[in-house]
Amino acid sequence: MNWDWDKLQQKRQRHFPGSGGQGGQGGNEFGEFQEKLSQLKKIKFPGGKYIIPVLALIIWMLSGLYIVEPGQVGVVQRFGAFHEQTALGSGLQWHWPRPIEKVTVVDTQRIRTHQIGFSLVNGSKRVNRNEALMLTGDKNIAHFEIIVHYRVSEPADYLFNVREPDTMILRTASETALRSIVGTMDIETAIVAEGLAMVAMRTQALLQMLLDDYGSGLFVTDVRTERGDAPQEVRDAFHDVVRAMEDKERLIYRSQEYREDIVPRARGGREERILTAQGEIRRFSQILNEYRLAQDVTRQRMYLEKMAEILPGVEKVIIDKGAADNVFLLPGGGSLNIGAQTGR
């Protein structure tokens, strides 16, 4: 171990200003100090010159320790190129420190969001008309706002293929997908509840396809339509038109309901009348055949049936025409035949 003797001499002169080679107490103190210096000079520290390099090496090696928490993946680069990828949430890991290797920890479970057509600044909503206004399939201008939820699915692709921040590629791809889907739909279809759900579903599918083509390593978990409407300047007039069209559709639907109700009933009534007529025909044919076989009996039976039909619930007494003058009706429904009593 090397000592700086010049500095020690300066220190000795500061502590022993009277030790210039003169005797006395100062000389004694100087002699003791010089003896201690000579003893220190004789001490040998084995390997002392390697202590600092060894400590530096240990510190350098320890700098390669890193932790991969649950939901995270570590991507290791060796001399700038992709080397390996750690398991999800693998805990304490080690890599060769810089400049040999570099580790980037990526969160693959965190759901991120991005807005198209508007942005949130300090909790307040700001509309971006350049993104929100787009052309529909029937050449109308519509105002659409969507929210995209996504996460990192392939950390290596995400780090090496997406050169710009992920919000840049999400904005470009999401706006492209949304405009493409809205451009194939009529405005009346696109802005109703069913149309908004269809826009969100188709936009998510097309957006995922674009991100896969880019090799972005991003996965779209959900696309939600925040707003789909006409532009602010013509919104009231457009809503009047939409309400009129809804009234038209409602009246058409009600007329269809009436048709579905009245037509089957009319058909049923017609079938019933046809069946009744056919039954009357068969009945008349049977009566005609009976009449031809026994005209008097048939005529009498038809008369009695008709009287029973005309006077239902009424007590009736049938008297032969020739004996009508000799029969008297008695109270209680009895009868008295005079001809029988007189012997006639």
pLDDT in tens, 191-216: 888 889 999 999 999 999 999 998 88
Cα separation, 228 vs 134, whole angstroms: 11
Record the tokens describing residue 175, joined without a space: 């706006």
Q: Which domain holds residue 81?
A: 64-107
Question: pLDDT grade, residue 14 (50/70/90)?
Answer: low
Residue 152 dihedral angles phi and psi, to the nearest 5°: -85, 120
**Residue showing tokens 């058409």:** 252
Question: pLDDT grade, residue 1 (50/70/90)?
Answer: very low
Q: Is 176 buried (19+), middle (13-18) or exposed (0-12) by CB count in 10 A?
A: middle
CATH number at residue 178: 3.30.479.30
Cα separation, 151 vs 109, whole angstroms: 7
Of these ranges, 4-13, 157-166, 314-323, the one predicted with the greatest mean pLDDT is 157-166
Q: Does residue 337 carry a pLDDT above 50?
A: no
pTM of the model: 0.56
Cα separation, 217 vs 152, whole angstroms: 6
pLDDT at 202: 94
- The sign of the CA dihedral 85, 91, 94, 98 is positive
Q: Does residue 331 carry a pLDDT above 80?
A: no
Q: What distances in angstroms separate CA 180 from CA 118, 134, 228, one per listed residue?
A: 19, 10, 15
Residue 149 dihedral angles phi and psi, to the nearest 5°: -110, 130
Average pLDDT over residues 210-238: 84
pLDDT at 151: 93
In this structure, the answer to whether residues 178 and 197 fall within a common structural domain is yes
Q: Which of 107, 140, 159 is at the close of a domain?
A: 107
Q: Is residue 134 part of a domain?
A: yes
Q: Which residues contact 161 (CB under 8 A, 6 or more apart)?
A: 214, 215, 216, 217
Q: Is residue 54 part of a domain?
A: no
Q: Is residue 192 part of a domain?
A: yes
In this structure, the answer to whether residues 14 and 96 fall within a common structural domain is no
Q: Is residue 59 part of a domain?
A: no
Cα separation, 337 vs 169, whole angstroms: 119
Could you give the percent of the chain with pLDDT greater than 90?
Answer: 18
Q: Is residue 47 part of a domain?
A: no
In this structure, the answer to whether residues 308 and 326 fall within a common structural domain is no
In this structure, the answer to whether residues 157 and 185 fall within a common structural domain is yes
- How many structural domains are present in the chain? 5
Q: Is 139 buried (19+), middle (13-18) or exposed (0-12) by CB count in 10 A?
A: exposed
- State whether residue 169 is helix, strand or coil: helix
In this structure, the answer to whether residues 308 and 318 fall within a common structural domain is no
Strands (E), the chain: 65-68, 72-78, 81-85, 91-94, 101-107, 112-116, 118-121, 124-127, 133-135, 141-152, 218-229, 327-329, 335-337
Residue 217 near residue 156 (C-beta atoms within 8 A): yes
Cα separation, 235 vs 231, whole angstroms: 6
For the chain, the straight-line distance linking the first and the last C-alpha, in angstroms and rounded, comes to 176
Q: Does residue 262 carry a pLDDT above 60?
A: yes
Q: Does residue 117 carry a pLDDT above 70?
A: yes
Q: Does residue 318 carry a pLDDT above 80?
A: no
For residues 307 and 163, which has the higher predicted lDDT (pLDDT)? 307
In this structure, the answer to whether residues 147 and 221 fall within a common structural domain is yes
In this structure, the answer to whether residues 21 and 78 fall within a common structural domain is no
Record the tokens describing residue 323, joined without a space: 């004996």
Average pLDDT over residues 183-191: 86
In this structure, the answer to whether residues 120 and 226 fall within a common structural domain is yes
Could you give the percent of the chain with pLDDT greater than 70?
Answer: 74
Average pLDDT over residues 172-181: 93
For residues 1 and 248, which has the higher predicted lDDT (pLDDT)? 248
In this structure, the answer to whether residues 224 and 277 fall within a common structural domain is no
In this structure, the answer to whether residues 144 and 122 fall within a common structural domain is yes
Q: Which of 204, 230, 256 is at the close of a domain?
A: 230
In this structure, the answer to whether residues 100 and 72 fall within a common structural domain is yes
Q: What distances in angstroms separate CA 287 from CA 90, 246, 275, 311, one per listed residue?
A: 101, 61, 18, 22
In this structure, the answer to whether residues 169 and 256 fall within a common structural domain is no
pLDDT at 36: 66
pLDDT at 163: 66
Residue 67 dihedral angles phi and psi, to the nearest 5°: -115, 130
pLDDT at 127: 86
Q: Is residue 50 part of a domain?
A: no
pLDDT at 245: 75
Q: Is residue 58 part of a domain?
A: no
Q: What distances in angstroms separate CA 134 from CA 173, 182, 244, one per listed residue?
A: 15, 8, 24
Q: Which of 180, 209, 230 is at the close of a domain?
A: 230
Record the tokens describing residue 170, joined without a space: 């999400």
Q: Is residue 56 part of a domain?
A: no
